[in-house]
Amino acid sequence: MAQYFIPCAVCGETKSFHTLIVAEGNRGAGFIYKKHPVVICKTCGLCFLNPQHEEADYAKYYELYD
């Protein structure tokens, strides 16, 4: 279980983000963090989850709940 910060997919910004909301919950999947920050890029306005979970964590999650 790991999280990693990603740059903005539109403009490539790496540091200038504002947190809009922190969604909470993981539907009982202990390998997924319970807090999910949604940020907005201050440069271009794209909203996205940052930091993100590793792809393997998402795969395990969808195996359980698909």
DSSP per-residue codes, 10-61? TT--SS-EEEEEEEE--TT-TTS-SEEEEEEETTT--EEESSEE-HHHHHHH
Whether the model clears a pTM of 0.85, i.e. scores above it, the answer is no
Beta strand 35-41 pairing with 3-4: unpaired
Higher pLDDT, 40 or 37: 40
Say which DSSP state 3 is in.
E
Where is pLDDT greater, at 16 or 62? 16
Residue 3 pLDDT exceeds 60? yes
Average pLDDT over residues 40-55: 92
Is residue 56's pLDDT more than 90? no
Q: How far apart are CA 26 and CA 54, in angstroms?
A: 15
- The yes-or-no verdict on residue 47 having pLDDT over 80 is yes
Rounded to an integer, what distance in angstroms lies between the CA atom of residue 63 and that of residue 58?
9
